[in-house]
């Protein structure tokens, strides 16, 4: 019988070192940023009074301008979001298939798909909108394509993950029975990924309603164009009405998505 003591420790020294390094890195990064970022303190001191002034000019909202400038732009925003989401799904499907390791067994293609997905997500929708305004000219077409390209990363990544989680049993059965590739996809994979697919679609549409309300700031159509005009003309009472309308549409879209999700998933 030895009376040796065992010390039970939750983490190994290497784990503790790794955690400590991360905390240290965060602290150093934070301190460095605070010291070097160019903030003018005087602007910060009078920010509350400036914001108060802004709200005073915004109130009351100019309800008369709704029928003139806002209604059509709101509908356009919703259409951009809807069409953009559809375009995104159309484009994301091949990329998702290519990124799923159990379907595409060529590492180079997996890697290429990942590159497309990351590029799509790293470029913000406003930046995509700028690019497509240069290509298609100002208007809803640029906005729709921008929303579509921005969403490829999100939809493609989630679809690829859903495909990778598929149960291989039914697929093998279909293959053994000699089913063609289209049947394997439609009857083997599709029923397994359909709930995920509709969930992704709804979620992305909800996000796209928010995004398509601002891409107009760079000229890509929708309510953002009206917002930009009102801002440039300093018509703050119209700005507040536009903001209220965007708020209402975004909340309505969210409620709609929640209700549909409860029904289908």
Partner 1 sequence: MSAHSQTLRKPFPANNLARLGWVALAVYTIYALSALDITWDRFVMGLGNGAEFLGEMIPPNFERWKLLVENLIETVEIAIIASAFGITLSLPIGLMSARNLMPAWATWPARTVICVCRSFHPVIFAILFVKAVGFGPMAGILTLIFASIGFIGKLFAEAIEEISLKPVEACKAAGAPFLSVLIYAVLPQVLNRFIGFATYQFDANMRNSTMVGIVGAGGIGGTLFAAFQRFDYDFLCTILLSIIGLIMISEYLAVKVKAVFND
What does the alpha-carbon distance between residue 87 and residue 150 come to, in Å, rounded to a whole number? 10
Q: Write down the least CB distance from residue 4 to partner 1, Å.
A: 27
Residue with smaller CB distance to partner 1, 1 or 209 = 209
Find the shortest distance in angstroms from Cβ 203 to partner 1: 14
Count Cβ atoms within 10 A of the Cβ of residue 15 and give its class: 0-12 exposed, 13-18 middle, 19 or more buried: exposed
Other C-beta atoms within 10 Å of 115: how many? 12
Of 22 and 265, which has the nearer Cβ to partner 1?
22
Closer CB to partner 1, 83 or 98, in the complex: 83
Quote the least distance from Cβ 243 to partner 1, whole Å: 7
First to last CA, the chain: 60
Q: Which of 154, 95, 163 is nearest to 122 (CA)?
A: 154
Q: Which is nearer to partner 1, 66 or 121 (CB)?
A: 121
**How far is it, in rounded angstroms, from Cα 196 to Cα 57?**
46
How far apart, in whole angstroms, are the C-alpha atoms of residue 31 and residue 36?
A: 9
Which residues of the shown chain bind partner 1 in the complex (CB under 8 A)?
15, 18-19, 22, 26, 29-30, 32-34, 36-40, 43-44, 47, 50-51, 54, 75-76, 79-80, 82-83, 86, 118-119, 121-124, 126-127, 130-131, 134-137, 139-141, 144, 187, 210-211, 213-214, 217-218, 221, 227, 231, 243, 246-247, 250-251
Q: Alpha-carbon distance 213 to 241, whole Å?
A: 14
The least distance separating partner 1 from the CB of residue 222, rounded to whole angstroms, comes to 10
Q: Which one, 35 or 105, has the nearer CB to partner 1?
A: 35
Q: Radius of gyration over alpha carbons of the chain, in Å?
A: 25
Shortest gap between Cβ of 134 and partner 1 (angstroms)? 5
């Amino acid at each position: 019988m030895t009376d040796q003591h065992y010390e039970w420790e939750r983490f190994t020294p290497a784990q503790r070192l790794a955690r400590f390094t991360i905390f240290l890195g965060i602290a150093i990064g934070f301190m460095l940023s605070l010291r070097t970022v160019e903030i003018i303190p005087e602007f910060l001191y009078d920010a509350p009074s400036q914001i108060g002034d802004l709200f005073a000019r915004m109130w009351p909202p100019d309800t008369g301008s709704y029928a003139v400038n806002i209604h059509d732009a709101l509908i356009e925003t919703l259409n951009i979001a809807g069409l953009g989401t559809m375009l995104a799904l159309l484009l994301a499907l091949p990329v998702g298939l290519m990124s799923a390791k159990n379907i595409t067994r060529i590492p180079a293609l997996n890697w290429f798909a990942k590159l497309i997905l990351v590029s799509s997500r790293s470029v913000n929708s406003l930046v995509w909108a700028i690019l497509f305004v240069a290509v298609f000219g100002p208007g809803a077409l640029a906005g729709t394509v921008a929303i579509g390209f921005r969403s490829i990363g999100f939809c493609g990544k989630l679809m690829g993950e859903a495909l990778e989680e598929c149960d291989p049993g039914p697929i093998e059965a279909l293959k053994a029975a000699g089913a063609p590739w289209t049947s394997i996809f439609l009857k083997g994979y599709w029923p397994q990924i359909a709930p995920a697919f509709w969930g992704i679609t709804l979620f992305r549409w909800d996000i796209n309603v928010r995004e398509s309300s601002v891409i107009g700031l760079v000229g890509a159509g929708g309510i953002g164009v009206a917002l930009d005009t009102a801002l440039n003309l300093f018509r703050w009472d119209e700005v507040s009405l536009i903001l209220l309308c965007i708020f209402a549409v975004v909340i309505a879209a969210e409620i709609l998505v929640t209700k549909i999700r409860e029904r289908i998933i």
